[in-house]
């Protein structure tokens, strides 16, 4: 889909194309923090490799189009996004909305324990939705080079600590049980974000706990029927 969209943009004379890739494009055992120059030094983690490789082909096409047609296409490599308005469908959601829903489901049912996949030892980096939007806009306005650029918040947190923090904010005081028969995914994820700062002045601003509180509040409001409270997303 991305390849076809880029070709259509080129044919229609679009001035600039911003391709948003994924941290899943990085090799499974990339040295931490992930640097853009390590992108091709190995195969992605197996459970999301097809997605990561498909996204990485947009970088190949963007660079080829720049060379052959002079087409201005840039490529961004963001970490996991989160925030109000996220997808909380258990069949498709990512880790933070999935855990928030799991916590509230347990509290709603009066359960005293919650089961989480994996060991909890792997780490992830998360970028709040408003920071992500600002980073994409800044890159669109100021960055015009062929090299990929990381977008992140420059920190990592273990899934175990993430679950504890979500449970604490949401008010769940039950037992957390780990289903170690389920996969962990990539061992660590944390980006070197120095190039984004150097090239277009981007730095994440929203503290992780604040972002989680905003997200949990947004989800709680909708559980309680508080539709139309968009003004409460970030205060």
The string of pLDDT tens digits covering residues 87-115 is: 998 888 899 999 999 999 999 999 999 99
Confidence of residue 230 (pLDDT cuts 50, 70, 90): very low
The string of pLDDT tens digits covering residues 152-174 is: 999 999 999 999 999 999 999 99
Task: Tell whether 235 is covered by a domain.
Answer: no
Task: Tell whether 102 is covered by a domain.
Answer: yes
Task: Tell whether 234 is covered by a domain.
Answer: no
**What's the CA gap between 162 and 51, in Å, rounded?**
24
Residue of 26, 43, 51, 65 with catalytic role: 51
What is the 3-state composition of the chain as percent helix, strand, coil, each rounded to the nearest 5?
Answer: 45, 15, 40
pTM: 0.89
pLDDT given at position 90? 82
Backbone angles phi, psi at 94, to 5 degrees: -90, -175
What percent of the chain clears pLDDT 90, i.e. is strictly above it? 88
- Give exposure, 67-93, as e/b (b: 16+ Cβ within 10 Å): eeeebbbbbbbbbbbbbbebebeeeeb
26 included as an active-site residue = no
What is the pLDDT of the chain when averaged over all its residues? 93
pLDDT given at position 11? 97
Task: Tell whether 205 is covered by a domain.
Answer: yes
DSSP-assigned letter for residue 25: G
Burial class (CB in 10 A: 0-12, 13-18, 19+), 63: middle
Confidence of residue 52 (pLDDT cuts 50, 70, 90): very high
pLDDT given at position 129? 97
Confidence check: pLDDT of 192 > 70: yes
C-beta separation of 95 from 124 below 8 A: yes
Confidence of residue 231 (pLDDT cuts 50, 70, 90): very low
Burial class (CB in 10 A: 0-12, 13-18, 19+), 204: buried
What percent of the chain clears pLDDT 70, i.e. is strictly above it? 96
The string of pLDDT tens digits covering residues 1-29 is: 999 999 999 999 999 999 999 999 999 99
How many domains is the chain partitioned into structurally?
Answer: 1
**What's the CA gap between 150 and 173, in Å, rounded?**
36
Instruction: Assign residue 114 the CATH number of its domain.
Output: 3.40.50.720
User: What is the extent of the structural domain holding 36?
Assistant: 2-227
Q: What average pLDDT does this structure show over 74-82? A: 97
Q: How far is CA 134 from the centre of its chain?
A: 14
Task: Tell whether 232 is covered by a domain.
Answer: no
Task: Tell whether 76 is covered by a domain.
Answer: yes
Task: Tell whether 233 is covered by a domain.
Answer: no
Q: What average pLDDT does this structure show over 129-137? A: 98
């Amino acid at each position: 889909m991305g390849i076809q969209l880029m070709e259509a943009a080129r044919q229609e004379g679009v001035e600039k194309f911003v391709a948003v890739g994924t941290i899943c494009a990085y090799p499974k055992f990339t040295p931490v923090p992930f640097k853009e120059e390590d992108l091709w030094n190995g195969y992605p983690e197996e459970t999301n490799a097809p997605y990561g490789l498909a996204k990485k082909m947009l970088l190949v096409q963007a660079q080829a189009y720049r060379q052959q047609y002079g087409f201005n296409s840039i490529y961004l490599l963001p970490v996991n996004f989160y925030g109000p308005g996220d997808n909380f469908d258990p069949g498709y959601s990512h880790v933070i909305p999935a855990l928030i829903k799991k916590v509230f489901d347990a509290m709603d049912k009066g359960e005293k324990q919650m089961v989480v996949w994996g060991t909890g030892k792997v780490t992830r980096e998360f970028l709040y939705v408003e920071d992500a939007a600002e980073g994409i806009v800044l890159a669109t306005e100021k960055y015009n080079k062929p090299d990929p650029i990381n977008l992140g918040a420059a920190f990592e947190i273990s899934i175990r600590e993430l679950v504890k923090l979500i449970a604490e904010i949401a008010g769940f005081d039950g037992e957390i049980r780990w289903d170690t028969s389920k996969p962990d995914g990539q061992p660590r994820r944390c980006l070197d974000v120095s190039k984004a700062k150097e090239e277009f002045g981007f730095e994440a601003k929203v503290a992780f706990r604040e972002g989680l509180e905003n997200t949990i509040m947004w989800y709680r409001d909708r559980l309680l029927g508080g539709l139309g409270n968009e003004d409460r997303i970030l205060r």
